[in-house]
Amino acid sequence: MRAICAVPCSVPHYADPVGHPGKPGRDSAVDEDEADATKLGRRIRQLRGRMSQDTLSRRIGFHRTRISKAENGDLPSADLCGALDEFWQTGGELQAWQARLGDRLDDREAATNRRQMFELSAAGLIAAETYRRRTRIGPDALTLAELDDAIDQHAAVFTTTPHAVLAPRVYRTWTSAEALLDTGAKARAQAKLTAIAGYSAYMLSRLAFNLGDHSSSRRFVTQASDHADQIDEPVLAASVAAMSATLAFYGGQHTAAVDAARRAPDHPYTRARLAAYEARALAALGDLDGTHAALTRMRHATVETQPRPGSSPFGAANAEWFSAGLLARFGRGREVEPIARDAVDAFDSGRAVGFEDHGHALLVLATTLLCRDQPEPAEAAALGGRTLALLTASPTHSLVSRVARLAADLAPYRAIPEVTDFREQLTATGRRALMER
């Protein structure tokens, strides 16, 4: 008796090579790749532990959906795996795993090309590579867009990512942009690449400074300045001026720091920071009236906005600790203590972010407690201890210098137990050890 087909005749019924129903052309190698990608996803999920995907996204500068897809079995990109390896210090484990899976896919590309075309993610990669092969003169739009995205990602996590972790990522972006500039490009692409290379060089100057390498910082800021001179990017030019003012200030060249801040192009995004840096140098020169005038301009220019390439946003909490720190040195510690406490509270509560600025706010409050008629060294020492805890995870040159200055200010109170504890903690950690972390 003739068997009746259980499915409509217009719908083909497929069987895999061993006789099981399945997808047309499905083979065991594809199943193996999916299984391995799933294992890689489980490994990423294991490493993430109790940290949320949103938190991890902010720490490494990749969108949460990319992390979610990777954990759910989609093969992650090499750059995502590299960022995760850097963050978790896994010695390249995830990137090597991704490369092995990617190589196996490449080996079967000719045999599976038609099937892969139905996978949107693979189709997008194929389209990108095809476009790049056809683009022979200068960098293509896709490469430019990816480099531009990288700069935005670096800016987004600059104040929340340890600088030793962020530096190699920014360096890769900078070298890519500089290499493409050297090959020549069309006018529009040339301007975009110059901006990307300039912002990358600025970030590297800032990172080098915060990691204690002032010579490299000067070299990178010179490179960034050269790029800024070639294009109309006022935020880049102003950010370079702010970095130049910082290098001059910490080098003891306070008049040069004032001049650098005043020569900067005016832009709403950088206006408050430059006024703050001018005030800092004027205070070091003993110019109280000039300091007050610059601080007033700073307070009127604060911005509460998302980070963009260039200097980080300078909001109200930054203005509070900056004002309190400078005015305390003029003997007004008790008067500005409430301002400093407001700044610390903003960072403690999460209303303001950034480990470096958080540390400065803590140390400024400590300074206000010492620069007054009735000093409170015990609380000041406790605040110094909190800052050391921040520094252990994310050291920066300016914070290390400020901690050392607090230790010197607390020297007359070394017999107080809290001060003894702070000084012992600082000695155990060591200034050099902090900068080598």
Which of residues 124, 150, 168 is at a domain's end?
124
Residue 376, φ and ψ in degrees, nearest 5: -125, 75
Boundary-marking domain end, from 102, 124, 146: 124
The answer on pLDDT for 119 being more than 60 is no
Q: Is residue 390 part of a domain?
A: yes
Let me know if residue 23 belongs to a domain. yes
- The answer to whether residue 416 is domain-embedded is yes
**Encoding tokens for residue 87?**
């963050």
Tokens of 386: 């909190």
Beta bridge mates, 15: 21
Q: What is the pLDDT of residue 287?
A: 94
User: How high is the pLDDT of residue 187?
Assistant: 67
Is residue 170 a part of any domain in this protein? no
Token pair recorded at residue 59: 């720490």
Of 124, 143, 158, the residue that ends a domain is 124
For the residues of 304-368, what is the DSSP string, one character each? -----SSSPP--HHHHHHHHHHHHHTTT-HHHHHHHHHHHHHHHHHTSS--HHHHHHHHHHHHHH
Cα 72 to Cα 37: distance, rounded to the nearest angstrom: 9
From the list 176, 254, 167, 236, the residue with the least C-alpha distance to 206 is 167
130: confidence class by pLDDT, cuts 50, 70, 90 = low
Tokens, residue 194: 């110059």
Query: In which residue are the tokens 């960072």 written?
Result: 347
Kindly state the percentage of the chain with pLDDT values over 70.
81
Average pLDDT over residues 384-390: 90
Residue 366 lies in a domain: yes
Both tokens assigned to 75: 């093969």
Condensed to tens digits (0 to 9), the pLDDT of residues 333-371 reads 889 999 999 999 999 999 999 999 999 999 999 999 998
pLDDT over threshold 70, residue 89: yes
State pLDDT tens for residues 93-117.
Answer: 898 888 887 766 555 544 444 443 3
Task: Find the CATH number of the domain harbouring 330.
Answer: 1.25.40
Q: Give the confidence band of 56 by pLDDT, cuts at 50, 70, 90.
A: confident
Residue 229 maps to a domain: no
> How many helices, marked H, and strands, marked E, lie in the chain?
22, 0
Would you place residue 22 in the very low, low, confident or very high pLDDT band (cuts 50, 70, 90)?
very low
Choice among 2-11, 150-159, 256-265, 280-289 with the minimum mean pLDDT: 2-11
- Determine the Cα–Cα distance for residues 134 and 149; give it in Å rounded to an integer: 22
What is the domain extent for residue 10? 1-124
Q: What is d(CA 415, CA 142) in angstroms, rounded to the nearest whole number?
A: 63
Total structural domains within the chain:
2
- Domain annotation covers residue 8: yes
Q: Answer yes or no: is 194 within a domain.
A: no
Question: What per-residue confidence (pLDDT) applies to 386?
Answer: 92
Q: At 138, list the tokens.
A: 């200068």
**Is residue 266 over pLDDT 70?**
yes
pLDDT at 36 (0 to 100): 81
What pLDDT shows up at residue 82?
Answer: 84
